[in-house]
Structure 1
Amino acid sequence: MTKQKQPNILVIWGDDIGITNLSCYSDGLMGYRTPNIDRIANEGMRFTDSYGQQSCTAGRSAFITGQNPYRTGLTKVGMPGADIGLQAEDVTIAELLKPLGYVTGQFGKNHLGDKNKYLPTVHGFDEFFGNLYHLNAEEEPENVDYPNEADYPNFSKLFGPRGVIHSWATETDDPSEHPRWGRVGKQKIEDTGPLTKKRMETCDTEFLGAAKDFITRAGKEEKPFFLWFNTTWMHFRIHPPKEILGQAGRWQSFYHDTMVEHDKHIGQLLDHLDELGITEDTIVVYSTDNGPHMNTWPDGAMTPFRNEKNSNWEGAFRVPMLVRWPGKIKAGTVSNEIIAQQDWLPTFLAAAGEPEIGEKLKKGHTVGDRTFKVHLDGYNFLPHLTGEAEKGPRPGFIYFSDDGDLVGLRYDNWKFVFAEQRCQGTVMIWAEPLV
């Protein structure tokens, strides 16, 4: 039997983007269209019952580890320099794909810890170029209420955010240690400077260029690639360049202008696959980490769901989910099955030729010089994607707060709410039980 060619895997994530932000879900209801993102839906499958998590770190950790954030502790990260991040014991998609011959790259926002031991290049990625926090945290040193250099000359150095990092995995162990960021380990790290408000205007363009270059180099090596591209748009606060303002049309906001530009960036990635002749060989997924903030007109795109990011309601957890694999996934398909970000790890591994990865990890699975023993919370959706199975394998979803509390449980079309974030303006953040 001839071995099936392994697919490239391109995962594209926006940040805090809601379902109705995309015209493949809303038909332009928001006042603009996203034709490039819509192309993924039109040429593949669009999910209507898809789950991220309630905030950035939780959503990203669930995807890359295939585990509920409660297991990994990655419901949120702390202040810059905090000893919270992706643990060595938790295997990633990248670490599992490497032995199968994949080259791996991550570009854009990470948000899984800023110490050296948490960087993507010691967790299976060959290359990383991106920022480590959300935008409003990165711009704090420029805000008027930030401790000034005259009165606090070392404050930023000791407590401020780390710069935009470009790092590469190496075979050589670097024993040198930074007083804040820790031991370097088997990676080379370059700090390219802070993510200032001005740089925020173009950082997604920087990350996009690096991602395209990575794809080109992978093609020259004739190796399949796994690439996770994470934009900073549309997280609060965006700083769009002046030249893109107004492109969404009259009476539109700068948020809509930036969504249109974000869509163009996705178009560049899709066009790049076309130009290299690898579209047919590449799985493309478009999604995001969590639901949107309700800080833009008309409602932050959480429609038709209740509430927003960082709540226990559906508006916090529901995300757009699109997937394309020409010749494998029927074009224009709509799935009403429940799916979550945790499901992509076993699904990608099955597509790459490792369908039993969940059972192997339960028993203890050796990758290189390390053995991982974890329980995956994700399900293999490959049979559903390819039409072999009408129904998806996921029966429900478990909701955790960013404090790691169990706040809800869904089974089929029933949702049980155990706690609600409803005490705004008080020191008691969580009021329970909900009866």
Structure 2
Amino acid sequence: MRKKIISRAIALAGGTLLSTALMAKPPNILVIMSDDVGMTNVSAYSHGIMGYNTPNIDRIAKEGIMFTDHYAQPSSTAGRASFITGQYPIRSGLTTVGRPGSPLGLKAETPTLAEVLKPLGYMNGQFGKNHLGDRNEHLPTVHGFDEFYGNLYHLNTEETFEQVDYPKDPEFRKKFGTRGVLHCYSSTTDDETTDPRFGKMGKQKCEDTGELSRKRMETVDDEFIAASVDFMKRSKKADKPFFVWLNPSRMHMFTHLRESHRYLAAKATSEEDMYGSGMIEHDMQVGQVLDEMKKMGVLDNTIIVYTTDNGPEHSAKNHGGTTPFRGEKMTTYEGGVRVPMMIRWPGHIPAGQVKNGIQANMDLFTTLAAIAGNTNVVEEMKTNRKQYIDGLNNLDYWTGKSVESKRNNFLYYHESTLRAVRINQWKLHLETSETYYDGYQKQKIPLIFNIRQDPYESFDSTTDRSQITQQKLWLGEPVEALLGQHVKSLMDYPPVQKATTLDFSKLVENLLSQKK
């Protein structure tokens, strides 16, 4: 009997040691950042109201957490930058849509999550859309990533060369056109080769695999997924944790689908619904990734994040997504910035949770860094890089140790202008725009919404405004205090470069400022 007890004690001790050893090894990280996906297009949020379901994306939510108040940014470049840098984009200068050949892009001074994870033993791979600059100095493989396979721009820009009236002069395309889909690896050798337009190659090796044509767009996500899965397999073989940032081309306009997927949504909606069919395909591909990870044996030791870069471009109709909120991409109404967000991490994050606390892309940077082993990243960046990190460590909120999110506010920038502020349930609009194409209108008195009572920002008649403004004038003090702290941080840790704008009415003004 005594022998049995001793044997059982040894077995239990061994199990404890094994568990401790597993915990000591940091988890893999997979961030799937889709493009222009609306909250209503994900059936975990809308319960099939669009006529189709997204069971594979929904699975991440059902087996983990789904957030209702998660904020990206109004545009692709800004949304992606806020995640990978942990900063409001005003700090990196990446506040608006990146354009071919622009000198604006990810600077060496700006930190990335990949750079934080690298010394912790991670292999870092980025696959799919980057959109953080197309000069060689901007590419992921000189910013902490070991491998990059993807495109550099918003999707519709890549196909412009196929337009009938696009200039046929090769010199025009050479001067103004896009680069192809690149495959790059980081290197210890400093390559002095310098391209007249895209600059010095630096410590990386890159191959241009060819243009992203309309035909290639039909299946390019297959390429990105295959590269991602291969990277995971190699990191497992090397016995290293991986950080994979997978950025599918779906669902940015224009949607080009292979013939077998062209009418996936037709029975549910319409044969014209390119977006719906593309969304069903996208969900199938997310399922493919999950299946491959299960085969590899890494699914349950991987934190899986699913989100998107910005709100949907609803005005694109058959090529645009849907949000329940007012506004759309490029606006700072909720529809432009509040996005689907879910996280799966079995054994650490309780399944089936719905969280209503405020959270933002920047918080992923800090929280994932903490999970990987660096809980002091905010102070380290201030001291070592002279960079201010806006992201908050929200791990206790994820795991259920805290019922409150670390974040209780959000600053709504569009490009480099602050347009709105949220503190708890109160949102104050300083400037407003309803659609992608409308200019912003200054508000003499902030347009105030109780974002809990009125999440769709609909009570804005003259009577509504008069009542809430006169009753909630006290909001001015906490908002001013919050903005004072933010401005001080910008003065203490200045932006690394001046941001640009897509507002063509300010084109000359912007060009002149760049010359100074």
Verify same fold: TM over 0.5. Answer: yes
Give yes or no for the alignment of 1:381 onto 2:391. no
Give yes or no for the alignment of 1:407 onto 2:424. no
Q: 1:340-365 CA deviation, whole Å, 9 max, x = no partner?
A: 0000111011101111111221222x
Match of 1:432 among 442, 449, 452: 442
2:394 partner amino acid: F
Post-superposition shift, 1:424? Answer: 8.8
Contact residue 77 and residue 113 of structure 1 kept, 8 A = no
Match of 2:158 among 126, 132, 138: 138
Aligned to 1:219: 236
Whose helix proportion is higher, 1 or 2?
A: 2
Aligned to 1:200: 217
State how far apart, in whole Å, the 2-side matches of 1:147 and 1:157 are. 11
Post-superposition shift, 1:144? Answer: 2.2
Change in Cα spacing, 1:43 to 1:401, as seen in structure 2 (3 Å) is same
Q: 1:127-152 CA deviation, whole Å, 9 max, x = no partner?
A: 00000001111111111231223xxx
Of 24-33 and 354-363, the range deviating more from structure 2:
354-363
Post-superposition shift, 1:25? Answer: 0.5
Give yes or no for the alignment of 1:320 onto 2:340. yes
Q: 1:237-258 CA deviation, whole Å, 9 max, x = no partner?
A: 1111111122234143221111
Aligned to 1:154: 171
State how far apart, in whole Å, the 1-side matches of 2:28 and 2:82 are. 21
Match of 1:51 among 63, 71, 79: 71
Contact residue 315 and residue 435 of structure 2 kept, 8 A = no
Change in Cα spacing, 1:423 to 1:216, as seen in structure 2 (3 Å) is closer
Of 273-282 and 43-52, the range deviating more from structure 2:
273-282
2:441 partner amino acid: A
State how far apart, in whole Å, the 1-side matches of 2:125 and 2:370 are. 20
Q: Percent identity?
A: 50
Contact residue 44 and residue 331 of structure 1 kept, 8 A = yes
Aligned to 1:66: 86
SS at match of 2:419: strand
Larger-gyration structure (1/2): 2
State how far apart, in whole Å, the 2-side matches of 1:129 and 1:333 are. 34
SS at match of 2:354: strand
State how far apart, in whole Å, the 1-side matches of 2:184 and 2:118 are. 17
How many residues in Structure 1 have an aligned counterpart in Structure 2?
Answer: 422
Q: How does 1:105-254 map to 2 (within 5 A)?
A: 105-149=125-169, 153-250=170-267, 251-252=269-270, 253-254=273-274
2:425 partner amino acid: N
Change in Cα spacing, 1:336 to 1:78, as seen in structure 2 (3 Å) is closer
State how far apart, in whole Å, the 2-side matches of 1:260 and 1:142 are. 27
1:377 partner amino acid: D
Contact residue 77 and residue 85 of structure 1 kept, 8 A = no
2:196 partner amino acid: P
Contact residue 36 and residue 264 of structure 1 kept, 8 A = yes
2:216 partner amino acid: R
Of 353-362 and 23-32, the range deviating more from structure 2:
353-362
Q: 1:296-347 CA deviation, whole Å, 9 max, x = no partner?
A: 5589544321011001211000110000000000010110011100001110
Aligned to 2:430: 418
Contact residue 110 and residue 132 of structure 1 kept, 8 A = yes
State how far apart, in whole Å, the 1-side matches of 2:30 and 2:47 are. 25
Give yes or no for the alignment of 1:7 onto 2:27. yes
SS at match of 1:394: coil
Q: 1:193-252 CA deviation, whole Å, 9 max, x = no partner?
A: 111111111111111111111111111001000000001110011111111122234143
Q: How does 1:298-309 map to 2 (within 5 A)?
A: 300-309=320-329
Give yes or no for the alignment of 1:361 onto 2:381. yes
After superposition, the CA RMSD in angstroms is 1.7
State how far apart, in whole Å, the 1-side matches of 2:240 and 2:202 are. 26
SS at match of 2:66: strand
SS at match of 2:441: coil
Contact residue 422 and residue 431 of structure 1 kept, 8 A = no
Aligned to 1:19: 39
Q: How does 1:67-86 map to 2 (within 5 A)?
A: 67-86=87-106
> Which sections of structure 1, spanning at least 5 residues, go unmatched?
365-371
2:192 partner amino acid: P
Give yes or no for the alignment of 1:289 onto 2:309. yes
Change in Cα spacing, 1:424 to 1:337, as seen in structure 2 (3 Å) is closer
1:433 partner amino acid: Q
Give yes or no for the alignment of 1:101 onto 2:121. yes
State how far apart, in whole Å, the 2-side matches of 1:424 and 1:18 are. 15
Aligned to 1:367: none
TM-score by length of 2: 0.79
State how far apart, in whole Å, the 2-side matches of 1:425 and 1:340 are. 25
Aligned to 2:506: none
Match of 1:352 among 359, 372, 376: 372
State how far apart, in whole Å, the 2-side matches of 1:416 and 1:86 are. 31
